[in-house]
Amino acid sequence: MKYLRDRSIAKSLLDVASLSNPGPWIQHSINVGRAAEIIATELSKNETDVDPENAYICGMLHDIGRYVGSTPSVVHSWDGYQYLERLGYEGTAQTCVTHSFPVTDTSCINGWGKIPEDVQNGLRHLLDDFKWTIYDKIIALCDTLADSRGFSTIEKRIVSAAIRNGIHSNSPKLWKRYYEIKSEVEDVIGKSIYRLLPGIEDSLYHSIALEN
């Protein structure tokens, strides 16, 4: 799969997206990229085949589908995939989808019924075809570790998302997978990922986002 490997191009794509749909998702995306780069760097020190630069770019662009504007549920993942796939970056595009699906059971997705049927079918087809990479795992994890202000604990991000978007009976399946990926990473690097992210302790004193 081809990935976008030029950080300056990735930043220009995000800058253009910010003009069509400004909002806190832009800085969130940058912070996800920062977290992904930090974690990938630590993994690479422990004999994991991962490129920190690529992890950063995937993190920066994981929400690029939000350039469209306000859309229900995980439609932004479909829009992001379509956008980057058209540009020829299939690998980077894949992380636009997988970050929303730490588990591939679509019944776990909040608001799935609000998604147009053609998009539902398209996402199911992609999820059936994808072979997960280390980048998919890193970005799915880092999406829960960064907000627009910086780095945060998974628990605070989950509560914020629950307040803003609601939950249902299958939501804990998603949460469990985040912690499973966290454990996989920590087993490799031999320490808590929270020790890697500068300023994460500040999140203890920040209020959580209550609105999208």
Per-residue pLDDT of the chain (212 residues; tens, 9 = 90+): 899 999 999 999 999 999 999 999 999 999 999 999 999 999 999 999 999 999 999 999 999 999 999 999 999 999 999 999 999 999 999 999 999 999 999 999 999 999 999 999 999 999 999 999 999 999 999 999 999 999 999 999 998 888 887 888 889 999 999 999 999 999 999 999 999 999 998 887 777 666 65
In a domain, 33, yes or no: yes
Q: Could you tell me if 113 and 127 are in contact, meaning their C-beta atoms sit under 8 angstroms apart?
A: no
Separation of alpha carbons 32 and 60, rounded Å: 6
Whole-angstrom distance, CA of residue 67 vs CA of residue 206: 27
What pLDDT is recorded for position 206?
77
CA atoms within 13 A on the CB side of 194: 11
Q: Is 94 helix (H, G, I), strand (E, B) or coil?
A: helix
H or E stretch covering 138: helix 134-142
pTM higher than the cut 0.75: yes
pLDDT tens for each residue of 60-88: 999 999 999 999 999 999 999 999 999 99
Helix/strand/coil (H, E, C) string of 140-197?
Answer: HHHCCCECCCCECCHHHHHHHHHHHHCCCCCHHHHHHHHHHHHHHHHHHHCCCHHHCC
Which domain CATH number covers 42?
1.10.3210
- Flag whether 1 is in a domain: no
Report yes or no on 2 lying in a domain.
Answer: no
- Which residues neighbour 177 within 8 Å (Cβ) at sequence distance 6 or greater? 102, 103, 140
Give domain status of residue 176, yes or no.
yes
First-to-last C-alpha distance (Å) of the chain: 33
Of 188, 212, 180, nearest to 21 (Cα)?
212
Residue 211 domain-assigned (yes or no): no
In the chain, the number of structural domains is: 1
* Other Cβ atoms closer than 10 A to 54: 23
Q: Cα–Cα distance between 125 and 112 in angstroms, integer?
A: 15
Chain position carrying tokens 């628990």: 155
Beta-bridge mates of residue 151: 146
Q: 177 lies in a domain?
A: yes
Between CA 100 and CA 63 the distance in angstroms is 10
Q: Which domain holds residue 66?
A: 7-205
In a domain, 150, yes or no: yes
Q: What is the pLDDT of residue 59?
A: 98
Q: What CA–CA distance (Å, rounded) separates 109 from 174?
A: 8
Other residues' Cβ atoms within 10 Å of the Cβ of residue 205 = 6
On whether residue 210 sits in a domain, the answer given is no
Q: Return the pLDDT at 212.
A: 59
